[in-house]
Amino acid sequence: MIEAARYTRSDDKIMLVTIIPFTIIVNSLFFGKRFFTDWKLFVLSSILTFLFISAFFILCGWVAVTLRKNLWLIIQWMNWKKCLTPIFIFRISRSFYISANSVEQMHDYFGNRLLLNLKPPVDKEATVSREKVQTLKNGWVNKTLFYRNLEYYRSSFFV
């Protein structure tokens, strides 16, 4: 027998207590006075509405149980994404984001800025703004080279 996913032990009780009144309310709004006067309409619409809402309740319970079981995977993936983005992608100015793999050479440029030679070459000059020069020189390039080498060693180790 197929068992529905359970979020709590009292899912069945909660379903019955909430869905029966909800079924009556929805059908009375939909059919009006006819819902209470025509017994065939009352029985048929109540059964169909109850089955539909029960299926939706079970589906929502399955989603809740699945998310509760796998929430740590989602959180880990989000944390991993946050950690990788600042390391491999860097904003050098308002109009440029660069990848560590794209930096070929760095040259001093006027106004305490840097001029980068990128691969593949770009049409505009890739200049690093004054505020970003120290971050780029001190930390970002070294971290990126470290992680690039780490990825290289991981990939060669697991091949």
Query: 3-51: per-residue pLDDT in tens?
Result: 566 667 777 788 888 888 999 999 999 999 998 999 999 999 999 999 9
DSSP-assigned beta bridge partners for residue 90? 98
Residue 158 pLDDT exceeds 90: no
- Tell how strand 126-128 and strand 113-118 pair up: antiparallel
Nearest to 140 by CA among 95, 106, 94, 109: 106
Q: Taking a C-beta distance cutoff of 8 angstroms, is the pair 132, 91 a contact? A: yes
pLDDT in tens, 71-120: 767 666 666 555 555 556 777 887 778 877 777 788 888 888 888 888 88
Tell me the two tokens of residue 60.
Answer: 């929502």
pLDDT at 143: 58
Residue 131 pLDDT exceeds 90: no
**Domain assignments of the chain as residue spans, ordered by start:** 11-86, 92-157
Q: How far is CA 36 from the centre of its chain?
A: 47
**How many Å apart are CA 92 and CA 83, to the nearest integer?**
19
CB-based contacts of 31, cutoff 8 Å, min separation 6: 41, 45
The structure tokens 């840097």 sit at 114
Q: What φ, ψ does residue 73 adopt, rounded to 5°?
A: -65, -40
